[in-house]
Structure 1
């Protein structure tokens, strides 16, 4: 009997293992590119945020519809004067190694990003926190930052002034917490698999640059019982055409971005598996304000006016984008964007004015050669836009235009590290639904998005004034005035207001379009 019993137990064990393997749900997710880093304090692009939002959870977070909901904090209160937030952490919050999530973790993390030694390019995003700017400039110690642990489960954040969009700021990846012991033990290597300790729905299992990032379900996550996907495989699908083929072959469950010129074909072939939806995003060209001839506002304005945005939107983006003549996209409640003063002109009139401006500046036919290099990150749509604009500048302005493309990681590293360039493709997705987040791109000294190093004291002063204005209508008026200053200078060239582009398989459940374009894997289930 003992042999039979042993045999039956062995069979049962094998069946259990087999059933467990079959039950494991894997979500194959195309992510448009490789992250430069998984250090939340060094990130700036959405392909990084998509991964970090799965690994880490801030005080507040987004639900599947892109709405702010409690995250690591189960509740919060705001003082009557609007300057002190008090967050109550979940008693069952844990890190992936089993350590409890404590208020001190958030204090450590905010102090780290504001510490000038960290050199976080996004630190200025959190300047609304009391003393943040002074700490970041080295004028005060990190311990003087307005973030403190009242007790193990209570985080208090004091602001410089009432900030209507502060909860939105806390959804940004730079506000995510870090496991202090791991960061201090491993230094910059804390982001490696095996070292990375997370408090979100998933933990980091593998990171193979250029191939995949593997996340596995975190059993210590406070809401692990409702996380239905066991493994998330992120793939850097910069080659959009290849990504479409992988999706159609069933290798990808979702993919972020696809060749925009294939939109009609894909819609016919895949039906409602093709998802295009408005969101807070703009395509623009950064232009080097510190380099001749682009330091001349006449040249910048001529380049902007020579671009036929209707052609870009209709012929290249197949209607999944609209022409942009402002820095701030539409859709922000209570704010009407300022527009470039040539927005109402016909394209022919714009081109005539562009020729006059370039001649006045001494360039183009009859003047000095106008040589321009357009840099862009590898993407079919970006290539086609760059090629079209190069042709427009050649035809209208007599420019000699060359193109240079690199992968997304190299492209943005070059721009953020102040590498030399003439004109460079850039995109900005709103970190929060407030015009200030887009105006932020033009602030002097902003290394995150002001790649062209535009600088105008009047612009800086107006943005600063809007931050200190409590009346919503007056604040909106000041921000619009600031935007008009930047557009008059043409410190950067707005091109298109984008839609988000996704391929989502019918077998995917829990995916919902939203203007923030946030899709956390914890809400996804796969019907195999």
Structure 2
């Protein structure tokens, strides 16, 4: 089932005499994907420590040019537009990102016996969302006692990390920008099911799998979203992806063009049919 986000929902960020740049609602998130659960990251305390140490606000300002929102959630809030308010609150409960807590993160690393352990994060010049996030992860790790090293990957080879286990060999994490293919949180949540090809770490949680299966078998949106809220919370606790930011849809418009959508709805509707010259 497909739900389109209203195209009127946007914020005008800055303008010029020629046109305006708009940032509308999107379904994209920027994350750090965990790819190796055989080393220090097998311990949830280490994954949690990295999440606590990340400077999400700093990354949004530098890596995304200020066009984003720090998040501790695996989905965007726009993906829950069809959910009742109580369900939305339940889905995001306890996921509001805070300022980096270095002391607590360092204590978790020590508790896990991971101080001084080496981790490798992939980086690439393919985009700032990749290269600057990898650097942010390295900086966070160095502050809490981890030795995080960068492995540079050519832009034309970076996408292989998504599909080829061999390309991920020797890599513990990589920056991952993901957008929903439908405006339903289940699109993201299925990625953490046992055997999913985007479950890079090979994690398996029978209870989680049952939640996803139950949600997929329910037609009623309100009932389905209530189940997805529980799955969302459980997936967030596992930190198979460390959420960093929501990334809006960007569109530049001038006065000669009308009708173009300013949200990610452009991915799912025949938007060109609505574009026309302004009168």
Give TM-score scaled by structure 1 length.
0.44
Distance 1:312 1:276 in 2: 18
Distance 2:17 2:157 in 1: 33
Q: Pick from 189, 195, 201: which aligns with 1:439?
A: 189
Distance 1:399 1:300 in 2: 14
1:282 is matched with: 29
1:456 is matched with: 205
Output aligned runs, 1:300-339, within 5 Å.
Answer: 300-331=47-78, 332=80, 333-334=82-83, 335-336=87-88, 338-339=91-92
Contact 1:439/1:483 (8 A) holds in 2 = yes
Measure how far apart 1:471 and its partner are.
Answer: 4.5
Is structure 2 residue 22 aligned with structure 1 residue 272?
no
Contact 1:325/1:340 (8 A) holds in 2 = no
Output aligned runs, 1:26-425, within 5 Å.
Answer: 165=1, 267=14, 272-331=19-78, 332=80, 333-334=82-83, 335-336=87-88, 338-339=91-92, 341=94, 343=96, 346-348=98-100, 350-364=101-115, 368-376=116-124, 378-407=126-155, 409-418=156-165, 419=167, 420=169, 421-425=171-175
Change (3 A) 1:272 1:310: same
Distance 1:342 1:276 in 2: 23
Measure how far apart 1:526 and its partner are.
Answer: 8.4
Change (3 A) 1:516 1:483: same
Deviations 1:400-457 (A, max 9, x none): 33142432x522223212232211111221111111111122122121x333333211
Measure how far apart 1:359 and its partner are.
Answer: 1.0
Distance 1:376 1:459 in 2: 33
SS of structure 2 residue aligned to 1:338 = helix
Report the aligned-residue RMSD. 3.0
**Count of aligned pairs:** 259
Measure how far apart 1:341 and its partner are.
Answer: 4.2
1:136 is matched with: none
- Structure 2 stretches of 5 or more lacking a match? 4-12
Name segments (4+ residues, structure 1) moved above 6 Å.
none
1:467 is matched with: 216
Task: Select the structure with the greater relative contact order (CA < 8 A; seq sep ≥ 6).
Answer: 2
Distance 1:461 1:286 in 2: 23
Contact 2:15/2:21 (8 A) holds in 1 = no
Distance 2:221 2:15 in 1: 45
Distance 1:303 1:340 in 2: 20
Contact 1:374/1:386 (8 A) holds in 2 = yes
1:497 is matched with: 246
Give TM-score scaled by structure 2 length.
0.79
Measure how far apart 1:462 and its partner are.
Answer: 0.7
Deviations 1:240-259 (A, max 9, x none): xxxxxxxxxxxxxxxxxxxx
Contact 1:375/1:403 (8 A) holds in 2 = yes
Change (3 A) 1:318 1:377: closer
Measure how far apart 1:351 and its partner are.
Answer: 2.2
Change (3 A) 1:428 1:321: same
Deviations 1:192-213 (A, max 9, x none): xxxxxxxxxxxxxxxxxxxxxx
SS of structure 1 residue aligned to 2:213 = helix
2:10 is matched with: none
